[in-house]
Amino acid sequence: MGMTMSQKILAAHAGLSEVKAGQLIEASLDLVLGNDITTPVAINVMQGFKDDRVFDKDKIALVMDHFIPNKDIKSAENCKTCREFAASHDITNYFDVGKMGIEHALLPEEGLTVAGDLIIGADSHTCTYGALGAFSTGVGSTDMAAGMATGKAWFKVPEAIRFNITGKKSKHVSGKDLILHIIGMIGVDGALYRSMEFTGEGVSELNIDDRLTIANMAIEAGGKNGIFPVDDVAAEYMNTHGNRPYKVYEADTDAVYAEEYTIDLSELEPTVSYPHLPSNTRTIDEAVSDHIKIDQAVIGSCTNGRISDLRAAAEIIGDRKIADGVRCIVIPGTQRIYLQAMEEGLIKSFIEAGAIVSTPTCGPCLGGYMGILAAGERCISTTNRNFVGRMGHVDSEIYLASPAVAAASAVTGYIADPRSMR
């Protein structure tokens, strides 16, 4: 019986010739990731180990991003704990203020995640790196601690769902629209503990930022991971961002899938997730007809804070102004993206339109800071979750959308169709 891409990566890292869905394995890790919220917990766990040394100082990445710059004493203490741990263990890949970014935008940019890697991270959106052909998945802080100490982790081999992507996408339709469509189609538990494998000739229509967005949100359908084949687009990205060798794994032709879906990109429309689940989706036509007034727009996050996202938003805004009564917050994913946006004039355009531009941070996505909502307020956001109270008060509402839809909404004051902007 053949294996899927994910199963081949797991087998190789477990030193096995093959694995089957449901099998329990111990596998060697290429990277262990933590942030300023999850790492202090893992550090406390490690302090209880007989040997609290890290297995490889080059294969651990600690990224301060959720409450950076620190918003209060507790967040400052958390970062101090991480900073001191990184210094005492000589951690190579430690990222803090000045050398920073949102972890899932930063690590691929730094060349730390490549095809064939097995990666765990104490953050649920660690599945992002499947865009480059890696097996990456989120774990708890205890598993992170064990991974930092031993370089190994236990896995139950997942079965897989194959998404066959066909056709060509229309203007203002992006990877965000595709993954929202999929989550709306299968539900927030439709891929529970399954690998979401994206294949088909339509994959070539998706740029690397589209793929990173799609893999990032695999967890919003319950997926163990999301993964793409390694083509010229992925290879060019990896060759441009670092020089680590990588290994390409391909699914066997007789690989077994629990389910298969075919999605024609030419039939997709801009898509919006209504409160309070990512699966509560509507097409943009439906959203426009509902005449939903917004108070805030957020363009950024580990899902949609990359340069193509900022370009898409800036194109829609053009020489328009942010609507009266709307707070528009733009958050580049990394310092490098911030600088590139400055050089391209995007930051100037956002500010002249009446938006604010933040240093890279997760900030409002998890209700941390930089855009907390009050009771009764509505936000159109390019982030990845819209659960009750996710961005502030339990009586606020979050509508998930692409950067193009968020930008169009910011300048009209209502959820708007970017295709209607002239």
pLDDT band at 329 (very low <50, low <70, confident <90, very high): very high
Residues 6+ apart with CB under 8 A from 126: 33, 104, 119, 120, 136, 137, 138, 139
Q: What is the pLDDT of residue 100?
A: 86
Q: What is the pLDDT of residue 51?
A: 81
Q: What is the rounded distance in angstroms from the CA atom of residue 327 to the CA atom of residue 315?
A: 19
Q: What is the pLDDT of residue 372?
A: 95
Average pLDDT over residues 329-358: 97
**Share of residues in the chain with pLDDT > 70 (%):** 100
Q: What number of CA atoms fall less than 13 Å from residue 27's CA on the CB side?
A: 30
Q: Mean pLDDT across the chain, nearest whole number?
A: 95
Its sign, for the CA torsion 401, 405, 406, 409, is negative
Q: What is the rounded distance in angstroms from the CA atom of residue 51 to the CA atom of residue 340?
A: 43
Average pLDDT over residues 400-421: 96
Q: What is the pLDDT of residue 50?
A: 82
Q: What number of CA atoms fall less than 13 Å from residue 232's CA on the CB side?
A: 3
* 357-358-362 Cα angle (round to 5): 135
- Tell me the pLDDT tens digit for each residue of 119-156: 999 999 999 999 999 999 999 999 999 999 999 999 99
Please determine whether the domains at 5-264 and 270-420 fall in the same fold group of CATH: yes
Q: What is the rounded distance in angstroms from the CA atom of residue 146 to the CA atom of residue 217?
A: 26
Which pTM does this prediction carry?
0.95
Over 353-417, what HEC string results? HCCEECCCCCHHHHCCCCCCECCCCEEEECCCCCCCCCCECCCCEEEECCHHHHHHHHHHCECCC
- Tell me the pLDDT tens digit for each residue of 181-223: 999 999 999 999 999 999 999 999 999 999 999 999 999 999 9
270-420 maps to which CATH number?
3.30.499.10
- Tell me the pLDDT tens digit for each residue of 88-125: 999 999 999 988 899 999 999 999 999 999 999 999 99
Q: What is the pLDDT of residue 383?
A: 96
Q: What is the pLDDT of residue 254?
A: 94
* 49 and 150 Cβ atoms separated by less than 8 Å: no
pLDDT band at 242 (very low <50, low <70, confident <90, very high): confident
pLDDT band at 166 (very low <50, low <70, confident <90, very high): very high
pLDDT band at 85 (very low <50, low <70, confident <90, very high): very high
**Share of residues in the chain with pLDDT > 90 (%):** 94
Q: Is the pLDDT of residue 352 over 90?
A: yes
Q: Is the pLDDT of residue 1 over 80?
A: no
Q: What is the pLDDT of residue 243?
A: 86
Q: What is the pLDDT of residue 421?
A: 82
Superfamily for domain range 5-264: Aconitase, domain 3 (3.30.499.10)
Average pLDDT over residues 224-228: 97
Average pLDDT over residues 32-44: 96
Domain residues of the chain, as ranges? 5-264, 270-420
Average pLDDT over residues 346-365: 95
